[in-house]
A and B are shown apart, each in its own frame.
Chain A
Amino acid sequence: MKKIFEIALGIVTSVGGFLEIGSITTAAQAGAEFSFQLIWAIVLGGLCVIFLVEQSGRLAAVSGHTIPDAIRERFGSNYFLFLLVVIGIVSLLVMAAEFGGVCVGLEMATGIGFQWWAIPVAFVIWLIIWKGTFGVIEKGVSLLGLVTLCFVVGAIAMRPPWSQIVHGVLPTLPVHDKAHYWFVAVSILGASISPYLFFFYSSGAIEDEWDESYVGVNRVIATGGMSFGSFISVAVLVLAAMLLLPQGIKVEHYSQLPLLLIPVFGKTGFWLFVASLGIACLGAALEITLEIAYLAAQGFGWNWSENQRPLDEARFSLVYTGTILLAMLVVLIGIDPLKLTVFSMALTAATLPVSIVPFLFVMNDKSYLRDYRNGWISNTVVLLIIGLAFVLSLVSIPLQIFGGS
C-alpha cells in the first residue's frame, strides 16, 4: 500500500518537473503556428526523457550515487568542471526564465509589472529552500501543480479532431516557414530533454533514500510521470491549435497565453492559467535552483541535502542562494521572459551531448549498477538520444538565428 502511494505521489511529482514555462510556451507556439503537426516532437521528447529519467533513478537507487557523482568519479575533475560551467550557465538561464514566469504570473494577477516582483519572488523561493525539506518542496509544489490538469480538461471540452491529433504523432514535413517549424521542434525537444530534469531526479532519489527495492517503483514513476507530463503538454498544443491558430494569434507575449483557457472556462480560465503558470514555474525554479547546488556540491564532494540544516552545509546553501540572486538580477534587468525561455530551450538542446554521453558510460558501469546495468535496448535508445542530441546541438543555434522569433 505504501509503495502504491509512493508511486502515485512520484508520478505527480514527475509531472511537476516536466511541465514548466518552456514546455507550456513551446507547445503553445507549436499549436498556434503549425496546428497539430508538432505533436510528434512532444511525444519524442517524452519518450527520450522517460528512458533518461528511469536510468538516472536506477543509478541512484542501486549505487547510492547521483549522476554528477559518477561523472566526476569516472571522467575526472577537468570534465566535471567543463560540465559544471556548461550545465550551470544553461540551467541558470532556464532558472531565470522560470523565475520570470512566476513574476509574469503575478503581473497578470495584479497588473503590477513583472520586474517589481523579482525581489519578493526571489525571497519566497529562497525561503522555501532555506526552511523547507525535500519532501515538502517536492510533494507540496507538485500537488499544487495538479491545477495544470485544467489544460487537459479544456482540450477535451473543445472536442478536438482526434484523427488529426493521432496523425500529428507521426512526423510530417512543414508546409510553410520551414526554418521556424524546425526551430520550434528543436525548442520542444530542448524543453523536454533537459539535463536538469534527470540530474535532479537522481539527487531526489538519494534524498528520498531509495534503495535497490525501488527499481521497479522507479520504472513506474518515470514512465507514468513523464507520460502524464507529455500528455498535458499535448493538451496545451491542442488548445493553441484550436483557439489561437484560427485567429492568427502567434504566441509572442505571455499575455496571449490565457486565451488558451478563457474561451473554455470563461473568467475562471484566466485565473486557472495564472495559477498554472505561477505554480509550474515556481516548481521548476525550485528544482533547477536545487539542481545547480546539487551539481556543485556533489562534484566537489561537499555536504549536501535539502533535509539538513543550512548551517550544516554552508557551501551548498551559498550556491543556491547565489543562484537565486543571479536569476533575480536577470529578471530585474528586464529581459523579456518569453524570449529568454525560447533562447534557453534552444541552448539546452545545443548542450545535451555534454551530459548524455558520459551518462551512457556510467549506466554500463558494473561497479555502480552491478546486475542493473543497461541492457541492449536501453543502450540503443541512449545512443539514439545521443545522435539526436548531436543533431540538435548543431542545428539549434543556426535555427535560432534563421527561424527564431
Chain B
Amino acid sequence: MATQEIHAEQLLGRRVTAINGRVVGRLQEIRVRKQTRGWYVEEFLTGDYALLDRLAGWTIGRAVLRVFGASHKTSSYRIPWDKLDLTDPQRPRLRCDVAELSPVQIEE
C-alpha cells in the first residue's frame, strides 16, 4: 500500500480544475474530523466564500461582495476527500462533475 505525503500548506491557493479542464476555484481550506485512529480529511473547500471564512472576514467581505453583485452567485464548493485527485499536488483535479458538489454555506 503506497502512501503519498502531501504538504497541505502548499495546497493553499492552488487552482482546482474540473474534469473538463475548467477552473473550479482556488483551494482555501481543508476540513478534518477526529475519528478513532486520528484526524482524517473530510473535505476540501474552494472559492471566495471559503477564503472569507478562513480570514474570518464575513462582516467586511460580505459587504464588499454585495457591492460587486457577487452575493447571489456562488463559486465556492465543498469537495469530499475522495472526489479530489492530488496525485500531482501542484494541479489538484476533480474526480467528479462540478454539479455533484455542494456549495460552501455562508456562516452568520
Give the interface of A toward B (CB within 8 A). Answer: 74-76, 360-361, 364-367, 373-374, 379
- What are the 7 closest A-B residue pairs judged by CB atoms, nearest first? A365-B56, A364-B59, A361-B57, A361-B55, A74-B55, A364-B60, A360-B60
Question: Are A379 and B56 closer than 8 Å at their CB atoms?
Answer: no
CB-nearest residue of chain B to A374: B59
B19 sits at the interface (CB 8 A): no
B12 sits at the interface (CB 8 A): yes
A366, B57: Cα distance in complex, Å: 10
A379, B57: Cα distance in complex, Å: 12
Q: Which of B54-76 contact A (CB under 8 A)?
A: 54-60
Question: Are A366 and B56 closer than 8 Å at their CB atoms?
Answer: yes
Which residues from A are CB-within-8-Å of B59? 364, 373-374, 379
Give the interface of B toward A (CB within 8 A). Answer: 12, 54-60
A303, B38: Cα distance in complex, Å: 31
Sample (20) of A-B pairs whose CB atoms are under 8 Å apart: A74-B54, A74-B55, A74-B56, A75-B55, A360-B60, A361-B55, A361-B56, A361-B57, A361-B60, A364-B57, A364-B58, A364-B59, A364-B60, A365-B56, A366-B56, A367-B56, A373-B59, A374-B59, A379-B59, A379-B60
A361, B12: Cα distance in complex, Å: 19
Which residues from A are CB-within-8-Å of B54? 74
Question: Are A76 and B12 closer than 8 Å at their CB atoms?
Answer: yes
A365, B54: Cα distance in complex, Å: 10
The distance from the CB of B91 to the nearest CB of chain A, in whole angstroms, is 20
A76, B54: Cα distance in complex, Å: 11
* Chain A interface mostly: helix
Q: A76-B12, A364-B56 are in contact. List 16 more A-B contacts (CB 8 A).
A: A74-B55, A75-B55, A361-B55, A361-B56, A361-B57, A361-B60, A364-B57, A364-B58, A364-B59, A364-B60, A365-B56, A366-B56, A367-B56, A373-B59, A374-B59, A379-B59
CB-nearest residue of chain B to A361: B57
**Most-contacted residue by chain B among A360, A364, A367 (CB, 10 A):** A364
The distance from the CB of A357 to the nearest CB of chain B, in whole angstroms, is 10
CB-nearest residue of chain A to B57: A361
Which residues from A are CB-within-8-Å of B57? 361, 364
**Most-contacted residue by chain A among B12, B56, B57 (CB, 10 A):** B56
The distance from the CB of B23 to the nearest CB of chain A, in whole angstroms, is 21
A367, B57: Cα distance in complex, Å: 11
The distance from the CB of B22 to the nearest CB of chain A, in whole angstroms, is 26
The distance from the CB of A83 to the nearest CB of chain B, in whole angstroms, is 15
Which residues from A are CB-within-8-Å of B60? 360-361, 364, 379
The distance from the CB of A390 to the nearest CB of chain B, in whole angstroms, is 14
Which residues from B are CB-within-8-Å of A360? 60
Which residues from A are CB-within-8-Å of B58? 364
A374, B60: Cα distance in complex, Å: 11
A254, B57: Cα distance in complex, Å: 46
The distance from the CB of A13 to the nearest CB of chain B, in whole angstroms, is 31
CB-nearest residue of chain B to A373: B59
CB-nearest residue of chain B to A367: B56
A365, B56: Cα distance in complex, Å: 5
